[in-house]
Structure 1
Amino acid sequence: MFVKCAVCVFVFLYVKSVASRVERELECSRFHYDERLLEKMVRMEFNVERLQQRLDSVSESVGTLDGM
């Protein structure tokens, strides 16, 4: 439960930081803005998936240690 809450908090803070950076960037055109936003969202999704894999690995390790 704590791990999922921690992931949610991390994702929220990451999205907030990305949103603040997007607001500060100059908008050259609507297409350029959409493309940059999509790129950032894909990177964020990749990072969240990677973090989930790490959390799963740590959870398995903890489970193994609890079983000893």
Structure 2
Amino acid sequence: MHVHSVACRTDREPECSRFHYEKQLLEKMVRMEFNMERLQQRLDIVSEPFAKLNVM
């Protein structure tokens, strides 16, 4: 008689729930928005001297 055992793998990666995925996506979007605002501020600072040249 030969017995086969079925081992349960406990080293699998944890499953991501939909809530977890959406939370990570939202956090990423908030970081992107923050970075875009910072880039816009930097662009405004750099562009200011050129805007003054066009007025004169």
Gaps of 5+ in 1: 1-25
- The structure where helix makes up a greater share of residues is 1
TM score, norm. by length of structure 1:
0.52
4+ runs deviating over 2 angstroms: 61-68
Gaps of 5+ in 2: 1-13
Percent identical residues: 72
TM score, norm. by length of structure 2:
0.62
- Please, what is the CA RMSD of the aligned residues? 2.2
Larger RCO: 1 or 2 (CA < 8 Å, sep 6+) = 1
Structure with bigger gyration radius: 2
- How many residue pairs were aligned? 43
